[in-house]
Amino acid sequence: MSEEKQITLDYNKDHRKRLRQRYEQSEFQGFHDYEVLELLSTYAIPRKDTKETAKRLIAKFKNFPGVFATDEKELAGVEGIGPNAAIFLRVVNSTFSYYFEQQTRNQEIQFTNLSELVDYFRAILGSKTNETMQVLYLNSQNKLIQSENLGEGTVSETVAFPRKIVESALKYRATTSIIAHNHPGGLPAPSDNDNMVTQKINDAAKTVGIDLQEHIIIAPESYYSYRQNELL
């Protein structure tokens, strides 16, 4: 091994050590977005400098959430990110949502305002790369009974969604339901199909005395509320 290469390896090793020490001392306080990605990348990219790779990720996908709202193929196309690192970042992303969903099952949650709903759905759906429908089933006090994911890439299933939601609402003895889905990489404004699905779900829920309280569309940097826009 050449002396120059050895010096580079030693520098990378020391830099990683300093980055991890910073985290150990104060977690992510004072970190830039790229430094958080840089630290994460050290666990999937051995020995190499990950700073410039992290900066390229931020530059390409605009911001920190944008990196995690990207699929493996696009991630792997960034210089310095191979297939293994791309999968690792997607696993980290999926872990966020999984942790949040599991946590909410073990505590009583009551939604009292729109911002709480948006925060909840953004944690669950904000990093999904495909359109995904999430449904909340609540009791008469607006306390969460069950949160259900109806699957990715199925928002156009206008027949299956109303039937499934009604069946689950009756199963959980819910009085109210709230639905949300994401527009990955797009604007939050509803499409004609979104409006049609919402109307069909609302009509089906009414037949069994279930109130469809809200439909929220989550986009990378904003959201859309059907109730706020007087469409429910």
Per-residue pLDDT of 48-101, as tens digits, reads: 788 889 999 989 888 887 787 777 888 888 888 888 888 888 888 778 777 766
Place of tokens 């990950």: 50
160-202 pLDDT, tens per residue? 678 889 999 999 999 999 999 998 877 899 988 889 989 999 9
What sign results for the dihedral spanned by CA atoms 41, 45, 49, 55? negative
CATH code of the domain covering residue 141 = 3.40.140.10
Which domain range does residue 126 map to? 109-225
Confidence at 228, pLDDT banded by 50, 70, 90: very high
DSSP string, 42-97: TTTS-SS--HHHHHHHHHHHSSHHHHHTS-HHHHHTSTT--HHHHHHHHHHHHHHH
Give Cβ neighbours of residue 126 (< 8 Å, ≥ 6 apart): 65, 69, 182, 218, 220
What's the total number of domains in the chain? 2
Residue that terminates a domain, selected from 98, 122, 149: 98
pLDDT at 130 over 90: no
